[in-house]
Structure formats: C-alpha cells, structure tokens
Amino acid sequence: MKIGFSSADEAFRAEIAGWMAEHLRGPFEALRFRGGPGDEHSFPEARKAWERELASGGWTGVGWRQEHGGRGLSISQQVIFHEEYARAGGPGRMGHIGEGLVGPTLAAFGSKDQQRRLLPGILDGTEFWCQGYSEPGAGSDLANVQTRARLDETGEYWLISGQKVWTSLAHEADWCFVLARTEPGSSGHHGLSFLLVPMHQAQIRVQPIQQITGTSEFNEVFFDQARTSVANMVGAPGEGWKIAMALLGFERGVSTLGQQMLFQNELDEVIRIARANGASRDPLLRQRIARAWAGLRVLRYNSLRMLSGTQDGGLAREAMIYKLAWSTWHAELGKLAMDVLGPRAEILDGAPYALNRLQSLFLFTRSDTIYGGSNEIQRNVIAERALGMPREPRPRD
C-alpha cells in the first residue's frame, strides 16, 4: 500500500476531524482520551451514548460493505478515520468487539438471517459484544477449550456449560461469541463450534477480576446450561476453529492504525512530561524516547503493508509479527514512562489508590505480552506458520 494519501483522502481527513471537534464536546467532553487499555472501566454509559452519536453521524461500520449497512470506505479512508478519531482523543470504543470482530465475521460466515438480526444493533450502537475464547486452562492454547454445548431435548437450543476468563467488558455486553466443544470426546481444534449467546439470562454469571491497576474491565464468565437458539450457531457444527481463527485475523485489521495513534498519544504525554520535569536533558532517556518514536513508525509502516493483502480474516506473513511487535514496544513504553517520571512514579495522586495516567499505563502494559496470545506463542506462530519451520515438539496425550 502507498504511504501517501490523495487530495480526496485529505478532504475526508478534514471531514472526520471537523466532525470530531464538533461532537466530542459538551456531554462527551469528559470522554477525551479515556476508555483505552487499562481505562476501559471508565464512563461506560456515556461511552455507549457516544456509540449512538457516532452511528447518527454515519461513523460506525465505515469499512463494512454497503450491503451490510456500512459505508464501504476504501482502506486508505478507513486508516484516516481511525487515525483522526484517536488524534482527536476519541474514547475507547464500547462497540469495538462488535464492529471490529463480530460484524466482519458474520459478513464472511454468518447466515442471511444472522446478518439481518444482529448487524443493525452493532451499527446503531445499541447492542454490545464480548469474546468468549480464553479459559483457565486454555489461554494461549485456545485449542484446549473445555466449555461444552449440547442440544436440548427439543433440538431447538444449545445448552452451554463451562467457564471463560479475561472477558473484556462482559458486564456491559448484551451478547458473547463463544467457542465451545459440541462433539463429545473431541480434542484439539476438532469438534469446536462458534455460538452467539445472549448474556442477559440467569444461567450466566459474570464475576469481575480486579487487576493491579485497581480496575476490573476483565471478567470471569460462568455458563450453567446457558441457552442459545440453534439459529445462533455461525457455520456448521465443528467449524468453530476455522471461524475463530478468521475472527482473530479481522482483529489485525485497519483498526490497528487507531491503536497506534493511541500509542502516539501516550508517547506524546511521556515527551511532554520529560520536557516539563527536565528528564529530556538526560541523554539516555532522550535516546530511549527516540527509539520509541522510531519503533512506532515501524509499526505503522508494517501495518500499512499487511493491510495491502486480502481482507477476509486470513493472516498474511506480515500480519503474524504484529502482536509480538506492538506488545513488546508498548511494554517498553510503560517502563520509559516510569523512568521519565522519576521518583514521582512511586507516589500516588491520592488515596486509596489513585493512579496517574502514566502509572496506569505502566501497570497495564505488564500484561501486553501475555493476553491475546503470549509472546512465546506468537514466536511459535511466526516460526511455524510464517517461516514454515518444524512444529515445536508437543507432549503426547
């Protein structure tokens, strides 16, 4: 993909920047730069209202095809949207999982009925989703999923039993997409199915997990014969692994450019403080700031390169390095932030546990190299799937 943008693209950039300046104020002013990683617990109801505000302006589903209710924007315009959204301080998206993951997956694999029933609620900002993948014994080893689903006596509902963990914003979600084992006796990636499950039922219990940041946007989710209609299975029984992997491919889509602009906002804050407190005069810290700046540019160019491939959820070789690259960079930024703060990093803003923005950044980035596939797993993926090296020896059952 070319790095530059056309005059029409730049006009579009001015349009979204102008819309954000006009709408991200008044009741939404407090949301600027809030709700990102480590801060996702903040202002949930106001951020849901912001999703509806975005929808009213036609700024949801900008990359979805028009037949699915989206705007069908080009890749370059999608890049511009995500960059300008983050540059303006747009809050963390409550609808990200629905719009960025569920929507493209339903467009690619869902039935016409599923698309008709579920896509509008995502687009208009009235229905929110969470992800039911990880389990206590199946984090990075996703194929070890033990949550099970069976048909009830009528054959009309799947009954789901099991536990999911690290489920972002499950307490705010209306729906969860669940990877569950529907074939008794199956193992590995065989016998898994992809189910869409309504969250508002007595058979589902959501329990928050408090983190070292003091927040609890992650949850454990317990399913005790939870019900979902057979019409809510995406694909056929046993096709869950294929669909789950495609969804993870969509996760590495164009919104990665927005993520990087959020990183830029954090780096800008580190630089601002370094200038204010004199840390920028330390040659070693200046060198680390320069490396952080250059590393973020490398992430951007690699993202543009990987977006030049197909947009069907398949992962090009370039995309397979992205999680390892950004998580390592971001974790280093957290350490840089603490060193720039100096002794101030050890002092809380207030009782009992009032963290400032950079303290929260540091603590949250300790998890970056673990969630979403640990760095060790990412290196295996790169070696085996991108480079074609022999698979790592695995213990026999």
Question: Which sequence positions are flagged as catalytic?
Answer: 251
Whose CA is closest to 96, among 207, 193, 173, 204?
A: 173
3, 9, 61, 69, 188 from 75: Cα distances, Å: 12, 10, 13, 17, 35
3-class SS of residue 211: coil
Q: How far is the C-alpha of 62 from the C-alpha of 59, rounded, in Å?
A: 6
The answer to whether residues 270 and 289 touch, using CB atoms and an 8 Å cutoff, is yes
The answer to whether residues 230 and 156 touch, using CB atoms and an 8 Å cutoff, is yes
Cis peptide before 44 (omega within 30 of 0): no
H/E stretch holding 151: strand 148-151
Pairing between β-strand 219-229 and β-strand 233-234 as defined by DSSP bridges: unpaired
β strands within 211-327, DSSP E: 219-229, 233-234
H/E stretch holding 290: helix 283-306
Q: How far is the C-alpha of 203 from the C-alpha of 116, rounded, in Å?
A: 26
The answer to whether residues 181 and 145 touch, using CB atoms and an 8 Å cutoff, is yes
Residues 6 or more apart in contact with residue 183 via CB below 8 angstroms? 190, 191, 192, 237, 238
**Is the sign of the CA dihedral 154, 158, 162, 167 positive or negative?**
negative
The answer to whether residues 280 and 286 touch, using CB atoms and an 8 Å cutoff, is yes
Q: In angstroms, how far is CA 90 from the centroid of its own chain?
A: 15
